[in-house]
Structure 1
């Protein structure tokens, strides 16, 4: 009997709810941190370069923590328990941040916090992708609950903060980490025994197609650097209150949710590289136009392009990884992707974003549009490589 045939309808519903619950809780935390962590850092008296440096450090720690945690998960086959432990430690660190002051204490605690909570996503996402494949679930409809909770996180946090001290931000984040801990308990463990294989996980880095994919997808991710670090601050300086800022972040993710909900219907026709190309085109439109206005009525349609710049990029990247990475290196492949794109490349870009924002303000968004454009040649080369492999396999 095939793996998918052995899974009943009731089991599929249970798996769908458990996976959706994890994404919902994890991206609730993102909904708090992405728009409002820079605001919290600003409230602690840090300048643009200091804020950008801390944001960069948050990304750089992924280079170490992601592959290390993923290798343990692949070798031991116990990603769920590992994630539970990481969530517990993350909660303790987040609570410590609520009382932190000064650049170095805040920087060190932010780095530790990121090193603990960030690896939970690739480890559990690897589990989710394999379960989705085996149970014949629609990944987009599972993942959209993460986007919905992101909306809840941004809008609810923004509404709560209106007229209140930004110091509340880290307390809200701690509550979100608590929900992640609860969701990790409910996640399924991959039905795979621990492996003692000596295969080198870094062998993936010897594959030209994987390296080119990481570089190309990374350009699409780093195109969000100015938005992530200074989008909320620039809107706040322009006179928009926290409630409107939360709404603007949320409306972009509403568009992302709609993409996730319906992408399964045409994913086979578009394919992973097609989704990545849509992300690049969206960035070429979104980023150069964003600094031209602070009018919410004009910002709303630009924010809707988040469905392409992030949503399509994520769908394309996850589909590519599922097809290209063998199961026994699944968590490692996911983590290398996150470590290199969200760690190395974003870590290099964030300080540059801080310097550009300090020098030219929101005109720094134009450089983000250039990053989106630079991804297109890489996608064309990947398409040619993929086409050549298919032709060789058919001979």
Structure 2
């Protein structure tokens, strides 16, 4: 984590003085090399810490929403005063604060298996997990399209940095009550119906953004973030931790991040700009809505399809214990709608 944060700070400093487009692309690529791994690492640390202290992971994750909401609003006002040209220096300051906090975090004991690609491949051959990643990828394309062009949409509608900050505040704060509710009652509802619901809420959200005619409407629409991302995030992490053994949790979270952020961001960024420029905002969000609907159909079809029970995963250096195999089987039964 320390290395990743230091890398972010260095790349942000380089980016702040870069002027050539080719150099900027290269620096951003290296920046994301240090940026995206923070998410699976921090989530893994939070999950292990919550388990060790008999706490719910979601109650820990709520502080991430609070921090995001605060900085979304705070940065909007700061940039309105100092100018958007100073954005990277603000980012460096925030990364430096995170680095200082990380100095007080200790490594946590958790079950770890030796790196064995054949064992990981044995886990990835689970049909349930591949189906899950496929649906997540489809939904992620839609989400990354919105993430990349929401600011462009707001700017086109005449929004200032303050309004953009308020839109981010509305979305992040709306997560908190959903996180609390799901931490208390989420286990009573099976994962796949919740994922279907979240995907449909994403589709509704993108449709509304596509037809909105003012920045104020989009800020209001951002409140749907609660029943779309809030429900999806909690439920997807819950399902992932049940499908993957504890000692491969960090690897599973890394694969999840690749699907949810990296690969989907690459694809959506490649054709998203073309669609937005050539066909306009409305058609752009219709495409995003279509990907979200496709994901909902994928989750729904898995819910109604009773696949085979999960078997004990074996491979070179990997063999689930009886307790882990029972947990995996239970997760399979729940996820196909027993």
Gaps spanning 5+ residues in structure 2: where? 310-328
1:137 maps onto 2:61 in alignment? no
Match for residue 255 of structure 1 among 149, 174, 177:
174
2:324 counterpart residue number:
none
- 2:235 pairs with 293, 307, 316, which one? 316
Question: In the alignment, is residue 178 of structure 1 matched against residue 96 of structure 2?
Answer: yes
Q: 1:337 to 1:87 in 2, by over 3 A?
A: same
- Following TM superposition, by how much is the alpha carbon of 1:193 offset from its aligned partner in structure 2, in angstroms? 6.8
CA contact (8 A) 1:220 1:279 kept: no
| Match of residue 9 from structure 2 | 91
- The 1:202/1:180 distance shift into structure 2, 3 A limit, reads farther
Alignment of structure 1 residues 227-246 onto 2, 5 Å: 227-246=146-165
Q: Is the 8 A contact 1:282 1:305 kept in 2?
A: yes
Q: Give the distance between the partners of 2:152 and 2:285, measured in 1 at CA.
A: 14
Match of 2:136 in 1: 217
Which of 281, 301, 322 in structure 2 is aligned with 1:381?
301
Which TM-score applies when normalising by structure 2?
Answer: 0.85
Q: Tell me the CA shift for residue 290 of structure 1.
A: 0.8
Aligned mate of 1:122, from 4, 18, 40: 40
**CA spacing shift, 1:204–1:349, aligned 2, 3 Å:** farther
Instruction: Tell whether 2:211 aligns with 1:292.
Output: yes
Q: Take 1:384 and 1:135, find their aligned partners in 2: how far apart are those partners?
A: 37
- 1:109 is aligned, of 27, 31, 36, to 27
CA offsets per residue over residues 286-317 of structure 1, 9 Å max, x none? Answer: 11111222434432331111112222111111
The alignment of Structure 1 onto Structure 2 pairs a total of residues equal to 312
The answer for the alignment partner of 1:54 in structure 2 is none
By how many angstroms is 1:175 displaced? 1.1
The correspondence for 2:290, drawn from 357, 370, 375, is: 370
TM, length-normalised to structure 1:
0.73
Identify the match of residue 359 of structure 1 among 268, 278, 284.
Answer: 278
Contact 2:157–2:214, Cα closer than 8 Å, also in 1: no
Match of 1:152 among 70, 78, 85: 70
**Higher RCO (CA < 8 A, seq sep 6+):** 1
Contact 1:94 1:113 in 2 (8 A): yes
Structure 1 alignment gaps of length 5 or more? 1-82
Task: Give the equivalent residue in structure 2 for 1:41.
Answer: none
Structure 1 residue 187 corresponds to structure 2 residue 187: no
